[in-house]
Structure 1
Amino acid sequence: MTRVHTQLIGAAALSLALAGITSAYAAPSGTVAFLMPDQASTRYEQHDFPGFKAEMGKLCPDCKVLYQNANADASQQQQQFNSVIAQGAKVIVLDPVDSTAAASLVHMAQSQGIKVIAYDRPVPSTPADYYVSFDNEEIGKSIAQSLVAHLKESGVAGSKGGVLEVNGSPTDAAAGLIKKGIHEGLQGSGYKTLSEYDTPEWAPPKAQQWVSGQITRFGPQIVGVVAANDGTAGGTIAAFKAAGVNPVPPVTGNDATTAGLQLIIAGDQYNTILKPSEIVAGAAAKVAVGFLDGKPVKGETTLFKTPSQLFKPAVITQKNIKAEVVDKGFANAKDLCTGRYADGCKKLGIGG
C-alpha cells in the first residue's frame, strides 16, 4: 500500500471518528408531553408549564413540547395520554389526576418504550421511570409544626380545643404524603385533631362547605386549621368569615400562590409553602432530555421503587414573606399589594 493510500485511509478513519464524536454529542430531539392534572390551582398554567417549556427550550431547542391539562378528570387525562402517544411522544411528564388509575398509563407507555416521569404526584403502585417533586411529606410536617409553634407562642393551651385538618384530594398520592406529614407534625403537640376531611379534587368550595359544618359543630374549640394547600386554605378562611368568626384562627397553606400570599399579608392565613414550581419543572425537563439522549438518569433517592429527586420546601409567614418571596423575586409587590392588601404590604415593608 502506498504512503498516499495510507494517508487517505488514515484521514477517512479520523473523519469517521470525528463524525462519531459529533454524533455522540449532538443535541437530542424528539417529542415530550407535559400532562397536568387540574386548573383549580393556578400554578400549572402560571408556573409549572412555563418553567418546563423554558428549560426545554434551553436544553433541547429542536424538541417538540405537547401540553395538556385534564381539569381534574381522570378519563380526560387518559384520552390526553393516548393522544400524545399517537403524536409521537417519547417521554411523558405526568402529574396524575388519579394516582391509582395512572398505573395503567405507566404500564402502557413503558410497554411501548416510552419513558414516564411522575411529576409532583407519585404513582405508588407502579414504578415510573423517574419521580420529581418537592418533598410532600416534609411539606405536611412543616406546615403543621409551624402552626403548633405559633399556637404555643401565642399562649393557646391545648386544653382550650384542637385543630381541623383539611387534606387534599383522596385520589392524589401526593395529598396522601402531605396528610401523613401533617399527622407527624401534630403528633405529640398537645393539640388534638377535632376532625379531618379529604377534599375531593382539592376544590376550595368543597373545603369551605365542610369547614362551615365544623364551625357549627365545634365553634370556639377550633384553635387552628391545617389546610393542605392555599386553595383549601382560602375556602377555610371564607367559611370562618361567612360565620362571622373574627379573628379567623390561624390557617396553614401550601404553594405560595398569589391569593395565598395576599391572605398572609392580610393576616387571614398564617403560613404557606414556597416551592417554586419552575424548579421542579426545570428538573423534569433535564430528566426528559436525558431520556431522549439515551443517558442513564440517576435519582438522589428512591420513593415507591422509583428513582426520585425531592426538593426541600420552605415555610413562609408574615415574618419572612418580604425577604424570602418578594426580595428574591418569586413574587412582586405590584401583583401582591392590590386593593385591600395595600395596607398590609405597607406594614410589612413590601413595595414602595
Structure 2
Amino acid sequence: MNTSLRRTVVATAAISMALGMAACGKAGSSSSSSSASASSSAGGSQVIGLLLPETTTTRYEQFDKPLIEAKIKALAPSAVVKYYNANGQAATQAQQVTTAINQGAKVLIIDAVDSAQIKSSVQAAKDKGIKVVAYDRLASGPVSAYVSFDNEAVGKLQGQGLLDALGSKATPTAKIVEIDGDSADPNAADFKKGFTEAIAGKLTVGYDASGLWKPDVAAQKATAGIAAVGAKNIVGFYSANDGMAVGIISSMKTAGLEKLPIGGQDAQLDAVQRIIAGTQAYTIYKAYAPEADAAGTLAVDLLNGTDISSVATATKTNASGDSVPSQLLTPVLITKANVESTIVADKFYTVAQICTADFAAACTAAGIK
C-alpha cells in the first residue's frame, strides 16, 4: 500500500474512532448525523442521503457509515446526512430512496442491494434533479459517479491467494469448491471473473454455487459441494467474502476438511484472527477510509455543483449502458506474513483488537506484537 493511501487510512480511521459506534444509529432506520439546528438552517438544501445495503457484513455499520459521515461533515459542516440501511431487502431500499427524496435530499450515496432493481429509484432521483453516487457496487440507471475498488483485481488476488496457499497441490486436475457472492451484486461477477482468470489451467472448479453473501446459505452450498465432489477429492475452497467463509469453514469442519485452505475478502476482524490462527489462508484488504473519503468528497462536490473529474478519474459502464465517472481503488492481498505491515500499520485494527486472549499465542508465533 502506498504512503499517501496509508496516511489517508490512518487519518480517517482516527476520525471514525472518535465518532465511535454512537454514530452508527439503528440499522434499518433513518437518522441525521448532524444537529437538528443544522437541519433546520439548511432548509433541506444541504441534505445527503446515505443508503447502505445490509448489516450482516460488519463493514457497513462499523466503518463505511461513520467514515462517510465524518468526511461529509469535514467538507460541508452544515450538511445533514440522512442514513438508511435496507437490511438486505431491495424493496426496502427502494422505499428508503423515496423517503430520502421526500426528505429533501439533493445527493444520494447508494450501495445497492440489487444493482438492477435500483435502476427505477435512480431514475426517480434524477427526475427530481438529485445526483446519485453509486458506492462500492455499480448501480444501474443514470448514476452521476461511482467509487469502489478494482473488483476484477480483487478476484485475481483471491485466486492468487488460493494458489499460493495450495503450493504444489495446485494442479490442473485438483478440484476446489467455489462459493460466489449474490448475482444481484455486480461486484460478485467481477470477483468471479478475476478469480476464474487467476486459476485458469491451474485448478478445476468441481462445484460452483452462490452463497448470496449469507453465511448460512454459504454453509449449505459448501456442504452440497462436498457431497457432490467427494471430500477426498477437494484440495481447497473459495469464498467470495469473509462473512460467507464463516459458514463454509463450519461445513469444512463437519466434513473433516478444516485443514484445507480457504480465503475471503473484506479483512473482517474475525477473518484476520482466523488468518493468524491458521484456519483461513488469506483475505483481501480494501481500505474503507479512502473509499469512504472519495464517496463523501463526490457527494459534497455534486451537492455544490463542483467538477468531480479530479476525484473520478476513470470511467465504468453500468448494466444499463450509462457511462459513469468513477474512482477505482487498489486492493491488497493479506496473509499471515503481512498482517502487521498492512492492517496493523494502517491502524485498521490494533494489535489489542486482533490478539485477544484466544489468539495471543498465535499472534506471538506470528511475530505480531
TM-score (norm 2): 0.83
> 1:226 & 1:157 partners in 2: Cα distance?
13
Q: Which residue of 1 aligns with 2:102?
A: 86
Structure 2: which 5+ residue stretches go unaligned? 1-44, 318-322
Residues 286-344 of structure 1: per-residue CA shift (max 9 Å, x gap): 01111111112122111111111000000000010111111321111221112422211
Structure 2 Cα separation of the partners of residues 150 and 244 of structure 1: 18
For 1:291, the equivalent position in structure 2 comes to 302
CA deviation vs aligned residue, 1:150-177 (integer Å, no higher than 9, x gap): 323xx21526621111111121111111
Question: Letter of the aligned partner of 2:66 in structure 1?
Answer: P
Percent identity, aligned pairs only? 38
**Number of residue pairs aligned between Structure 1 and Structure 2:** 318
SS in 2 for 1:193: strand
* Counterpart in the other structure of 2:88: 72
Q: Deviations over 1:132-161 (max 9, x none)?
A: 001111101111122113323xx2152662
Where does 1:133-282 land on structure 2 (aligned, <5 Å)?
133-152=148-167, 155-158=168-171, 161-188=174-201, 190-200=202-212, 202-217=213-228, 218-247=230-259, 249-282=260-293
- 5+ unaligned residues in a row in structure 1: which ranges? 1-28
TM alignment of 1:14-29, pairs within 5 A: none
* 1:96 to 1:159, Cα distance in 2 relative to 1, 3 A: closer
Following superposition, which runs of at least 4 residues in structure 1 exceed 6 angstroms of deviation?
Answer: none
Equivalent residue, structure 2, for 1:116:
132
Deviation (angstroms), 1:279: 1.5
Superposed CA deviations along residues 40-74 of structure 1, whole A, max 9, x for unmatched, are 10100000011101111110000000111100001
Q: Which amino acid aligns with 2:280?
A: Q
- Map of 1:321 onto structure 2: 339
- Sort the Cα spacing of 1:291 and 1:246 in 2 relative to 1 into closer, same or farther, 3 A: closer
The 3-state SS of whatever aligns with 1:165 is: strand
2:119 is equivalent to residue 106 of structure 1? no
- Report the RMSD for the aligned CA atoms in angstroms: 1.5
Distance 1:317 1:157, change over 3 A: closer
Please say if 1:130 is aligned against 2:142.
no
Residue 246 (structure 1) shift? 4.3
Tell me, yes or no, if the aligned pair for 1:160 and 1:221 is still in contact at 8 Å: no
Which one has the largest radius of gyration? 1
TM-score (norm. length: structure 1): 0.87
> Compared with structure 1, are the counterparts of its residues 149 and 349 closer, same or farther at alpha carbon in structure 2 (3 Å cutoff)?
closer
- The residue number in structure 2 matching 1:26 is none
Contact between 1:50 and 1:278, CA under 8 Å: does it hold in 2? no
Distance 1:114 1:223, change over 3 A: same
**Is the 1:144–1:252 contact (alpha carbons within 8 Å) kept by the matching residues of 2?**
no
- Counterpart CA distance in 2 for 1:340 and 1:250 is 21
